[in-house]
Structure 1
Amino acid sequence: MEKNETRGKGEVTSHSVFGAPCWVSLATRDLEGAEEFYQAVFGWKWRPNSLGDRFRVALADGVPVAGIAAVASMWQMAVAWTVYFAVDSADDAAARCRERGGTTAVGPLALPPGRAALLADRDGAVFGIWEGPLITDWEEWRAAAPTFIRLHTRDAFDAAIFYGEVLEWAAARPGCCEVHYDGDEVVLRSSQVVIARIHSGAVEAAPDPTIRPHWQIHFTVDDVTACVLAARAHGGSVLQWEEGAGEAVLADPDGARFTVTARQRER
């Protein structure tokens, strides 16, 4: 990957990391409740966002790592975590999505200092795109946010083609993401680092019609058990976990699902 270019102090263009996940954001109904819950689970601190009173930015050791927006009711959106991918042009990426059978839920619209859109692939999995300066340097964000994403879908190969064309994976220019197979999954790499996986079971198996396609966001943590206990104590739910296991699927009090994974655990 090319060294990130800057547009000014503290602003990193999405163009140098195009196609890669660059941010995660939670759509919720209860801003204060979400702040309290995620501070308890992850130790995040909060700062206002320039977009208004309904928005907050989460800080991990002072580094911006995620966004929270109390817009689920206002915009008639599902309460959920969404991953955003960096693109050169939000308009072009949204058009490529529609041309390939996906849909546009919101945008593209101006969210200074950039432009964003909320899209869905042709199987209904929701994802976002972001054009413009990144809130945090990409490498710094990846180290501090410790975010990893996996698409659970009915046909990994078909999904990889869709996202590859929409987000320009494996493009013939520096900075693009590389796509490979690793066992039963399609793997997305940037500078040889795994940044996302697409999973649908065995590659040779028929698509599973029971899977509800979605992007699952994983946060790597030092202590999975502590996160599970904090989630329970603050109104969240434990959807999948065995005591002592290095991974747990949780839901916040508003129902948004996410996964916590032990930091030392290999993916």
Structure 2
Amino acid sequence: MTRSEPEASWAAAPLTGPAAPCWVNLLTRDLDAAQRFYGAVLGWTFRPGRLGQEFAVARRDDVPVAGIVAVASAYRVAVAWIPYFAVEDADVASARIRERSGTVAVGPLSLGKGRGALAADRDGAVFGIWERTEASTSPPSPAGHSHAWLRLRTRNAFDAAIFYGEVLDWADGSPGSCEVAYVRDEVIVRCAGRPLARISSGAVESAPDPMVRPHWQMQFPVSDVERTVACAVEHGGALVERRPVQHGSEATLCDPDGGLFTVTDVRTPDVLED
């Protein structure tokens, strides 16, 4: 399965309930090159993963924050950042994905301390699901700090919210489940009271530009966007788009292998709702 094992909570408070985003993976071609690039640009350190020499776990302040998996060439998949969502039962969630015209490409498979699957929604945005079967031994993130948050650029935000809501039990009222709110033209997903994912309309499924096609976008907070952009370019990356946002700025970058990600100096997604 093209992934490393989720090892850490997504943000400040452990998000152990169903539907919460719980991990991100980079599928890439060259593990050493990816570690050099993200180590320089985002200040991450790395440890070997437990699943073989193609896997590494990125850490920040000694807390696991992401997986890097060098399998894009072997499995003929696109280089991409992929989010994973916690589910209570990977088989049930996989069945729901298929029933709603999504695709389950890999899994569910048993790996490490859980079971997971790699999937795509009905508009083609790739994501994963993860069912933990053993307790985590990883430390939580420092209080008040988020290592990343998510944005889904899709054809229709409201249709996508229904799809993910039905697959992941968003807003079902169960303890620990996520809540969904409609703010202007976007959908905001809150977990443990904090907004961690935004869903925006306007993507075009057939667009040749991967920035325009439906996709999950990883947004990593940094202290200085301009300096991070310069560092990325210096280490072989490229600036795709830079834009001001409310309360700060953000830039979408392309790593040397083609992986797209966004950096922002907005320290918490809460202010994006203002």
Matched, 1:67 2:67: yes
User: Do 2:123 and 2:214's aligned partners in 1 also have CA atoms closer than 8 Å?
Assistant: yes
TM-score of the superposition, structure 2-length normalised? 0.85
CA pair 85-246 structure 1, distance change in 2 beyond 3 A = same
SS of 1:165's equivalent? helix
CA deviation map 1:159-188 (0-9, x unaligned) = 100000001101131110001101110110
73-82 or 139-148: bigger deviation? 139-148
> Which structure 2 residues correspond to residues 211-226 of structure 1 after superposition, within 5 A?
211-226=212-227
* 1:253 counterpart letter in structure 2: P
Matched, 1:257 2:260: yes
User: Do 1:225 and 1:243's aligned partners in 2 also have CA atoms closer than 8 Å?
Assistant: no
Which consecutive unaligned segments of at least 5 residues does structure 1 have?
A: 1-9, 202-206
Counterpart for residue 4 of structure 2: none
Cα displacement (A) at 1:144:
5.2
Number of aligned residue pairs: 251
TM-score of the superposition, structure 1-length normalised? 0.87
Distance in 1 (alpha carbons) for counterparts of 2:225 and 2:58: 20
CA pair 155-60 structure 1, distance change in 2 beyond 3 A = same
* 2:104 counterpart letter in structure 1: T
Distance in 2 (alpha carbons) for counterparts of 1:116 and 1:165: 18
* 2:196 counterpart letter in structure 1: I
CA pair 143-106 structure 1, distance change in 2 beyond 3 A = farther
Distance in 1 (alpha carbons) for counterparts of 2:68 and 2:142: 16
Cα displacement (A) at 1:142:
8.8
Which consecutive unaligned segments of at least 5 residues does structure 2 have?
A: 1-6
* 1:191 counterpart letter in structure 2: A
Moved over 3 A (4+): 133-137, 141-145, 207-211, 242-245, 263-266
Matched, 1:48 2:51: no
Q: Please give the root-mean-square deviation of Cα atoms over the aligned residues, in Å.
A: 2.4
* 2:254 counterpart letter in structure 1: A
CA deviation map 1:143-162 (0-9, x unaligned) = 55521101111111111000
SS of 1:216's equivalent? strand
User: Do 1:65 and 1:141's aligned partners in 2 also have CA atoms closer than 8 Å?
Assistant: no
Distance in 1 (alpha carbons) for counterparts of 2:237 and 2:123: 28
Counterpart for residue 6 of structure 1: none
SS of 1:160's equivalent? helix
Counterpart for residue 16 of structure 2: 16
CA pair 103-208 structure 1, distance change in 2 beyond 3 A = closer
User: Do 1:15 and 1:88's aligned partners in 2 also have CA atoms closer than 8 Å?
Assistant: no
> Which structure 2 residues correspond to residues 69-148 of structure 1 after superposition, within 5 A?
69-132=69-132, 133-134=135-136, 136=138, 140=141, 146-148=147-149
